[in-house]
Amino acid sequence: MSKNPFCLVCNSQTEFFFEKFVSETNSEIKLFKCLKCGLVFVHPMPEAEKIQSFYDSNYYEKPGFLVSFLQKFRVKKLVRFPKGKLLDVGCGNCSFVNAMAEKDWESFGLDVSAESEKHFSKKVKNSLHANVKKIYFKPLKENNFSGNFFDAVTFWHVLEHLTDPVPELNETKRILKKQGKLLIAVPNIESFSFRIFGKNWFHLDLPRHLIHFSPESLSKLLESKGFKVKKISYFSLEHDPFGVFQSIYNSLGFKWNFFHNLLRKRISPFSSLGNFINFLFTLILFPIVLPVSFILSFIFSLLKKPDTFTLIAEKKFS
Ligand SMILES: [Zn+2]
């Protein structure tokens, strides 16, 4: 008998996909792929308490110039729909909730991490737009939202962090109005970047990313949960070029996600000789790696195999 787990969402047979040693948890993490729907997921799933420890306070970046600039692209995906009530699940530092509030959407946010709540009361709370109605810190189901209440629910790079997306999608369907919009952005396990860079792929982000979707597997899941997929976009300026960029450095043997950790201020280039050497060579290669990353991510996007994708679905009538 095989000891492979059954698929999280469709309960079908799976095959072993790959495993990777992750120094952060000092463990080998195994991933399996569903033979029917194509979902890729970590097995066994870590305990809930353990998962909280994967996120430090730096995970919730402060909304700087770049974040505000990139928000515009997120906002663009929704503002073409009639204005209404929005819920952003996994709202982090509330920058998207705020940006939508500025476009006259009645905005609500939700984030369950303890770090996010701390960060919120310290830094975010007093700078919110008047159209931001409320930020929730309990899991989706525990907030007793009314049924048929929201015009749009967004999950920006959230679903891949969950141990099971199904309860969230069921609750989302309940709280969305008929023809309400569901927006999901996630990494793409069918990306060329994953094929090329494998375990060095930036968006693999183990141990945090527990489920990996493709446009096909996510569409199947949504259709089975009462949604109609309306649009899939295959390019994200926010995630795709950087995914290729950091994956190239990871593959060249630099310290793991070195540049990303520099940006997030998790490390300093001057704290050790090793860091300084990594920093120096990062700078030397920068003028080559940066344009190559942009060119590759544009090509991947044209071929519909980008690092990440954004899907918009609608709640079905029945
Ligand atoms: Zn499946």
3-state helix, strand, coil in the chain (%, to 5): 40, 25, 35
Q: Helix, strand, or coil here: 115?
A: helix
Q: How far, in Å, from the CA of 20 to the mean position of ligand 1?
A: 22
Q: How far, in Å, from the CA of 135 to the mean position of ligand 1?
A: 33
What is the structure's pLDDT at 296? 98
Q: How far, in Å, from the CA of 255 to the mean position of ligand 1?
A: 35
Q: How far, in Å, from the CA of 79 to the mean position of ligand 1?
A: 33
**Taking the chain (318 residues) in consecutive chunks of 10 residues, what is each chunk's mean pLDDT?**
82 94 91 96 92 74 70 91 95 90 96 76 79 92 95 96 94 95 98 96 95 97 96 94 96 93 87 94 96 97 97 89
Q: How far, in Å, from the CA of 164 to the mean position of ligand 1?
A: 12
Token pair of 35, please? 């033979």
What is the structure's pLDDT at 145? 95
What is the structure's pLDDT at 39? 96
> Under a CB-based contact definition with an 8 Å cutoff, are residues 258 and 274 in contact?
no
Q: How far, in Å, from the CA of 6 to the mean position of ligand 1?
A: 8
Q: How far, in Å, from the CA of 10 to the mean position of ligand 1?
A: 4
- The verdict on domain 57-235+309-315 having CATH code 3.40.50.150 is yes
Q: How far, in Å, from the CA of 310 to the mean position of ligand 1?
A: 20
Tell me the backbone φ, ψ of residue 223, rounded to 5 degrees. Answer: -60, -35
What is the structure's pLDDT at 67? 73
* Angle in degrees, CA 195, 162, 116, rounded to 5: 115
Q: How far, in Å, from the CA of 32 to the mean position of ligand 1?
A: 10
Q: How far, in Å, from the CA of 12 to the mean position of ligand 1?
A: 5
| E-strand stretches of the chain | 14-22, 27-34, 40-42, 85-89, 106-110, 132-136, 150-156, 176-187, 211-212, 227-233, 308-315
Q: How far, in Å, from the CA of 285 to the mean position of ligand 1?
A: 41
Q: How far apart are CA 137 and CA 51, in angstroms?
A: 16
CATH 3.40.50.150 in the chain is located at 57-235+309-315
Q: How far, in Å, from the CA of 7 to the mean position of ligand 1?
A: 5
> Under a CB-based contact definition with an 8 Å cutoff, are residues 91 and 109 in contact?
yes
Q: How far, in Å, from the CA of 16 to the mean position of ligand 1?
A: 13
Q: How far, in Å, from the CA of 264 to the mean position of ligand 1?
A: 35
What is the structure's pLDDT at 1? 46
